[in-house]
Structures are given as C-alpha cells and as structure tokens.
Amino acid sequence: MTLLSGKHVQLRRVEPDDYPAIQTWQNDPEVFYWMDYEHAFSLDDIRRSEERACTEGHPFVIVAEGRAVGRIGLNNFRSRDEMASLYIFVGDREVRGKGYGIDALMALIAYGFDVLNLRKIELWTLAHNERAIHMYKAAGLVEDARIPERSYKEDGWADHLVMSIDRDSFSRTRTSYGI
Ligand SMILES: CC(C)(COP(=O)(O)OP(=O)(O)OC[C@H]1O[C@@H](n2cnc3c(N)ncnc32)[C@H](O)[C@@H]1OP(=O)(O)O)[C@@H](O)C(=O)NCCC(=O)NCCS
C-alpha cells in the first residue's frame, strides 16, 4: 500500500517479502561502500535491522516503474530537539541515475515536516559521495560540519559531512520542485 508519493516514485511500508531484495541491495558493493556499512548482511541481519527500523523509526521501500527499487527512511529521532536523521539508497542498479533518488528524498522530507512536524532533518554522508551530495543540495540540505577521518575505507581514511535542512529551506526547494 502506498503511503507517500513523489512525482515519480511511491514510498510504502517494508514487508518481510522485501528482505531478500534488501539483502541483495545492501551487499551490492556500490551501496555497501557509500552507505559505509562494515559487514556483509545475512538475511537474518536484514530481518533484525528492519524490525528495529520499524520500532525506532519510519522505514519505507521506494517503488518505481512498478517495483521495489530501494530503501529510504527516518531514524534517530530526538523529540526534545524535534529532529531526525535520514538515509537513502536506490538498490536496483537498473534505475539508478534516473532521478528517483531526489524524488523519494523530497517525498520523505515533506513527510518529516508536514506529518511528523520535525523542525530539522539531518544526515551524514561520506564527504566524497559527490552524487549523493549533489542530490542533497538540490533538495535544500546544507553542509553543517565536516568530520575528518571518520571512516576507514579500503582506499584510506575518509571524511564525513553532516548536512541538514530546516522547514523554511525546504518550503523553498519544494515549491521549485513542485511537490
Ligand atoms: C545517491 C543515490 C540515492 C541517488 O539516487 P539516483 O536516483 O541514482 O540519483 P541520480 O543519479 O538520478 O541523481 C542525482 C543527481 O546527481 C547528479 N550526479 C550523478 N553523478 C554525479 C557525480 N558523480 N557528481 C555530481 N553529481 C552527480 C545527477 O546528474 C543528478 O543531478 P540532476 O538531477 O541535477 O541531474 C543513488 O545513486 C544511490 O543509492 N547510491 C548508492 C548509495 C548512496 O550513495 N546512498 C547515499 C548515502 S549518504
């Protein structure tokens, strides 16, 4: 069942039937590297992390072209600060680079401000993830801080960026995006 819609994608609840696809996506080297995961995922790991995501946050499957293509969600809720963190990956290689990422991102951020009444949404990204940072900036996120040498990758130490968006900045980008 669709819960949220962008211009091209829908976001729906994660179902147990999605777990094998999520396992494949999260173990795909391109997703694994950029999501900064540390260990390969078993199906049981996926089940446990999806169950935790449901109790601690708002996880969604991204649906495009009639099928599940990725995951997006909000977690790390801090009610005192009216904040949460977001994460996203388009797992299906066939549909990466078609603009579905930004569409899912806009729909999720709108949900965070309109329905969950958040004040601010934050994320961490590897500082050399140019594709993701381009997308985040297009949605209106700004760089708040750089965390040096945060992760050890196979090619050396990597910095992270902390990025965030508030309600006013989003109202400007959503008007020009048209959702
Ligand atoms: C990041 C991700 C969600 C983006 O979704 P997507 O649907 O593939 O996004 P697209 O590539 O269609 O669009 C992203 C934008 O970045 C641009 N872009 C693509 N590659 C780029 C690069 N190397 N440098 C800068 N910009 C780039 C695209 O042109 C597009 O911009 P536009 O809309 O202005 O044309 C997806 O690629 C993904 O899941 N990557 C692996 C996991 C990941 O990095 N997740 C984020 C972790 S913080």
- What is the domain-level CATH number for residue 121? 3.40.630.30
| Count of domains for the chain | 1
Structural domain of 152: 2-177
- Tell the residue nearest (CA) to atom 27 of ligand 1: 131
Query: What's the pLDDT at 2?
Result: 74
Which two tokens mark 66? 């009639």
| Category of 99 on φ-ψ map: left (φ > 0), alpha (ψ -120 to 50) or beta | left
> How far is residue 63 from each of residues 8, 71, 100, measured CA to CA in Å?
9, 9, 9
pLDDT digits 0-9 by tens, 35-44:
999 999 999 9
Q: Looking at the predicted structure, is the pLDDT value of residue 83 above 90?
A: yes
- Tell the residue nearest (CA) to atom 25 of ligand 1: 131
Distance 161 CA to ligand 1 centre (A): 16
Query: Average pLDDT for residues 115-138, to the nearest whole number?
Result: 98
Query: Average pLDDT for residues 115-123, to the nearest whole number?
Result: 97
Pocket test for ligand 1, best of 11, 94, 135, 165 (most atoms within 8 A of CB): 135
Distance 79 CA to ligand 1 centre (A): 30
Query: What's the pLDDT at 1?
Result: 75
Which two tokens mark 34? 């950029």
Query: What's the pLDDT at 176?
Result: 92
Question: What rounded mean pLDDT belongs to the chain?
Answer: 97
pLDDT digits 0-9 by tens, 85-113:
999 999 999 999 999 999 999 999 999 99
Query: What's the pLDDT at 150?
Result: 97
Query: What's the pLDDT at 104?
Result: 98
